[in-house]
Structure formats: C-alpha cells, structure tokens
Structure 1
Amino acid sequence: MTVTDKLARNQNLMLNCLRDAGRAMTAYDLLEALRDQGLRAPVQVYRALETLRQRELVHRIESLNAFVACRHLDHTETAAFAICDDCREIWKFSLPAEAGLTAVADRKRFKTRHTIVELHGRCAHCADRADG
C-alpha cells in the first residue's frame, strides 16, 4: 500500500490536480479547479493541503503562497526552490548547505523549526528570450 492509497478523497483530488498542473497553485486556484468535483469551501482545501504537507506530498512555496506537488519521496535534505519570476516555473533541488546554516544557528543557540530557501530570478529560457 502506498502513501497515496491512504489519502482521503479531497486530498487525492488536490494532489492529482497539483501533479497535473505542473506548476504552483494557490488554495483558491485549487478550489476553482476542483469546484466541479464538489469542493465548495476554502476550509476543505486548506485542511487537505495541510495533511498533504504534513505527509510531505506537497511543498508550500512561501513567497508565492502556493503549493507544488512533491515529485521525490526522499526527504533526507532540505528542499530549496528556484522560481522564475517571468514564466513561474519552479525547480526543486536539495540543499546540502543546510548543515552550514544549522551550525550557525547552533553557535547562536538558535533553535530552528524549519528552513525555507527560495531563489527568485529568471530561468535560462526566459533570460535568453529577454536578451534576444
């Protein structure tokens, strides 16, 4: 039995919607996309997203207040995201430098709850288009 087999109906709907979209979606984007599936209230979306986030099946992109489906089940390192401000494409990558961040926090006796790294800029495709 896989992790997704244990999901409730609304959670499955949202996870599949995010996977199919291939882009970050806000809770209201999801609500609109799934209205025909019976979702009517924002609270339905937020509850399902919170469960998906806790199970590490989606990532919250803090700066966009949006969510993306997780495509990798290996969560041994902190995820970082590169976000193109032009086309809105998002790339996830591992952040091995987290150990350095944690060491700095430890020296300052700062107890970290979670780490969020989001890089904003322009992807190669959009940069080439802008230069061309």
Structure 2
Amino acid sequence: MKSRSTGRNSALVLDALQRAGQPMRAYDLLAALRAEGLQSPAQVYRALDRLVAAGTVHRIASLNAFAACDEACGGQGHAVFTICTRCGRTREVRDDALPQVLRILADREGFRTRSAAVELRGLCEACADA
C-alpha cells in the first residue's frame, strides 16, 4: 500500500519543476522543497522515478537534471532538448515525426525503446547572435 506522502511528494516535485521552467537537479529540488516537508534525497528520487515512469518528467542525462514535460509532448516519453552551452538555456522541442523516426532506428537495431531523450548541444539564438 502506498503512503499518502507518495502522491504528495510527486505532486510537490512536479509543481516545483513546472514553476522553475528549467531543468533542476535532485538536490536543488530537495533544497527548494524542505519547507514542504521533503527531508531526504530518497524522497525526491522516488518522486522523480514515478514522474519519469508516468511520462510527466524527463531526465536530461548530460545535465544530471530533470525537466517537467512540455504540455505539447503529451507524456509520450520521447523528447528532444536544445541545450545552450554558453547560457545554459534548455528547451524541450517537439516534432510529430520524432516517435516514428526513433521507432525506425530502434527497429533497425532490434531494440525496444521505452523512452528517449535526445540532447542537442550548441548555442541558442541569443548566444549565437552575440
């Protein structure tokens, strides 16, 4: 049986990520949510695991951070992130062809994909123009 705090912790973590509008590391989430009663890294990591499994949060491996799923993503478990190497701006971008392209690539390798996060690193428009 799940404890009542399980759902509450996930809701707090998701809300914090949505309010931040940018990826956050687990320990930054913990610091932001201590006043709400989250006291241990395990509480944050369990909540993040549940949110990632539900498709409402993406893990950005190269940043060791998590981002709330963009509403346009629809929780499909597939995301592309643009990450500016100068200012750190990170955005989720979407294309309806992405799930099909990823499925084709995986099928070629005989691989069954559960989720995918593609990371494009470079310069955002503002930094490229500077």
TM-score (norm. length: structure 2): 0.80
Between the aligned partners of 1:22 and 1:40, the Cα distance in structure 2 is 23
Q: Which amino acid aligns with 1:32?
A: A
Q: Could you tell me whether the CA contact under 8 Å between 1:81 and 1:92 is conserved in 2?
A: yes
- Partner of residue 74, structure 1: 74
- Partner of residue 63, structure 1: 62
The farther-off stretch of 75-84 and 64-73 is 75-84
Q: 1:37 to 1:75 in 2, by over 3 A?
A: closer
Q: Which amino acid aligns with 1:22?
A: G
- Partner of residue 104, structure 2: 103
Cα deviation code 1:36-68 (max 9, x no counterpart): 111111000000011111111111111111001
Q: Could you tell me whether the CA contact under 8 Å between 2:87 and 2:127 is conserved in 1?
A: yes
Q: Could you tell me whether the CA contact under 8 Å between 2:54 and 2:75 is conserved in 1?
A: no
Q: Could you tell me whether the CA contact under 8 Å between 1:31 and 1:41 is conserved in 2?
A: yes
Q: Which runs of 5+ in 2 are unaligned?
A: 1-5
Between the aligned partners of 1:26 and 1:79, the Cα distance in structure 2 is 18
Matched position secondary structure for 1:80: strand
- Partner of residue 3, structure 2: none
Between the aligned partners of 2:112 and 2:76, the Cα distance in structure 1 is 19
- Partner of residue 84, structure 2: 84
How far the C-alpha of 1:30 sits from its partner, in A, is 0.3
Q: 1:113 to 1:16 in 2, by over 3 A?
A: closer
Matched position secondary structure for 2:94: strand
- Partner of residue 115, structure 1: 116
- Aligned-residue identity in percent: 46
How far the C-alpha of 1:9 sits from its partner, in A, is 1.2
Q: Which amino acid aligns with 1:36?
A: A
TM-score (norm. length: structure 1): 0.79
- Partner of residue 3, structure 1: none
Between the aligned partners of 2:77 and 2:68, the Cα distance in structure 1 is 17
Structure with higher Rg: it is: 1
- Partner of residue 128, structure 2: 127
- Partner of residue 41, structure 1: 40
The farther-off stretch of 50-59 and 88-97 is 88-97
